[in-house]
Amino acid sequence: MPFTKTFKNKILSAICGKSNFTNSIYAALFIGNPEGTTPGAEVSATNYGYKRTLVCGYNSGSTNLMGTPSEGSVANTATIYFPEATGSWGTVDYVALYDSLTGGNLLGYAHIVNDSGTDTSLEINEGKVPLIRTGKFTISFVDAQ
């Protein structure tokens, strides 16, 4: 998962004691690469029931769907559910992380992949409940060479 400069700056500020990182992280669905040459667009909040989904929160009584980090990586320990689509959301091909339910800062993003690890996209139509199965959403840092 590529991380944005905002994310990297937040981590460095927290490490140096300049700030807290964030209390909550939300998953968002995108049509296109959020930081592409022509940036993709998050599924619209007015678009048939869509909203970001809380994946982890610190000390806020929030549900935490992520496990304990190990070896520079952390994966979801429960299924991540987005709301049921009440109409077409379009063809979604990226998952992104934000530090707020609305607005906020884009922290990182990744292309949706199938079980074989191949980039894929999902057509989200009325009645579908987009989800990320347990263990299929991993956030990791790449080791320096």
Write the pLDDT tens digit of every residue in 12-40. Answer: 777 677 777 777 889 999 999 998 888 88
Contacts for 69-73: CB closer than 8 Å, 24+ residues apart: 72/140, 72/141, 72/143, 73/138, 73/139, 73/140, 73/141
Contacts of 142 (CB under 8 A, 6+ apart): none
Write the pLDDT tens digit of every residue in 85-142. Answer: 999 999 999 999 998 999 999 998 999 998 888 999 999 999 999 999 999 998 887 6
User: pTM here?
Assistant: 0.86
How long is the chain?
145
Domain ranges for the chain, please list them.
Answer: 5-140
Place of tokens 């263990």: 135
